[in-house]
Structure 1
Amino acid sequence: MKLEEFLAQVRDRGEYGSREEAEQVSTAVLRVLATRITPEEADDLAAQLPAPLDDVLHRERRAPAPLGLEEFLRRVAQHTGARPRTAEWDASAVLSTVADAVSGGQVNHLLSQLPTSYAELFGRPGLS
């Protein structure tokens, strides 16, 4: 998926007013996600995302932090300046687009590293 298509999907799903807002939210969500997954998983995911979003996953190179869903959303809110409920909306807009942009195997592998409560954010409520 090309960057413009990715951001258009995020913009539609999140009902954002501009491409820039969709990109800012995407960057924030991916930055927090990168702290939650292994560097190897971040590399695998980045390989399937368009630039410059792929670079966001490489900025946080350390052992994954065990973030529950609430803490994940709190950190997204911190990066976007939003409230936690808005951060859930933001994360869902971005992560469901990620799930559409990458292979099904990649999504399954990614979800296997996360608590089941994350599945709904990726548009996979049946897995939660």
Structure 2
Amino acid sequence: MEYEDFINAVATRAKVSTDQAATLTATTLDTLAGRISAGQAEDLAYQLPDKLADHLRGPRGREQATSFGLEEFVRRVADHPNIDRALAGPGVIAVLTTLREAVTRDEFQNAAAQLSKDFWRVIEPVGAGGARRAGS
């Protein structure tokens, strides 16, 4: 999936502008990079365009994930100064759902296995949320 396609899918799912979607995507991926192991983040990054992958490639030397649930994840995204707090929850869901669509099933499941079950309850099934585009 190309960068623009990813951002457009997030914008459609979260019902935000593409500028807001880009900010939500960057912040969500930055937060995800701290939530899963560095190796798993790198595996996801490998399947994404560089503009997205760079957010998953955090500081080197961090192998252990920091454990926290969906509520704390959304709070961390909402704390970013350029994010409207009301958009953080829908934005996180939109980004994670689009990520699920953008990478292989096995890779997404490996990453999601490091997340608590509350994440699974909010991520839309692949193809839901109107993100399908002509030619997909």
TM-score, shorter chain, exceeding 0.5: yes
Map of 1:78 onto structure 2:
79
Residue identity in the other structure for 1:43: E
Given that residues 47 and 103 in structure 2 are in contact (C-alpha distance below 8 angstroms), is that contact kept between their aligned partners in structure 1?
A: yes
How far residue 91 of structure 1 moved from its aligned partner, in angstroms, is: 0.2
5+ residue gaps in structure 2? 126-136
Q: Larger deviation: 24-33 or 57-66?
A: 57-66
How far residue 115 of structure 1 moved from its aligned partner, in angstroms, is: 0.5
CA distance in 2, matches of 1:44, 1:100: 15
5+ residue gaps in structure 1? none
Q: Which has the higher contact order (CA 8 A, sep 6+)?
A: 2
- What CA RMSD, in Å, does the superposition of the two structures yield over aligned residues? 1.5
Cα distance change on mapping 1:14 and 1:33 into 2, 3 Å: same
Given that residues 35 and 60 in structure 1 are in contact (C-alpha distance below 8 angstroms), is that contact kept between their aligned partners in structure 2?
A: no
Given that residues 98 and 122 in structure 1 are in contact (C-alpha distance below 8 angstroms), is that contact kept between their aligned partners in structure 2?
A: no
Q: Larger deviation: 92-101 or 19-28?
A: 19-28
Map of 1:104 onto structure 2:
105
Map of 1:122 onto structure 2:
123
CA distance in 2, matches of 1:5, 1:46: 16
Map of 1:13 onto structure 2:
13
CA distance in 1, matches of 2:122, 2:46: 21
Q: Identity across aligned pairs (percent)?
A: 35
Show structure 1 runs of 4+ deviating over 3 A: none
Higher-helix-fraction structure? 1
How far residue 10 of structure 1 moved from its aligned partner, in angstroms, is: 0.7
How far residue 88 of structure 1 moved from its aligned partner, in angstroms, is: 1.3
How far residue 60 of structure 1 moved from its aligned partner, in angstroms, is: 4.3
Residue identity in the other structure for 2:109: N
Cα distance change on mapping 1:31 and 1:119 into 2, 3 Å: same
Give matches, 1:38-77, under 5 Å.
38-61=37-60, 62=62, 63-77=64-78
Map of 1:25 onto structure 2:
24
Task: Give per-residue Cα distances to partners, 1:39-79, cap 9 Å, x unaligned.
Answer: 00000000111121100111244221111111111101012
**TM-score, length basis structure 2:** 0.83
- Aligned residue-pair number: 122
Given that residues 31 and 57 in structure 1 are in contact (C-alpha distance below 8 angstroms), is that contact kept between their aligned partners in structure 2?
A: yes
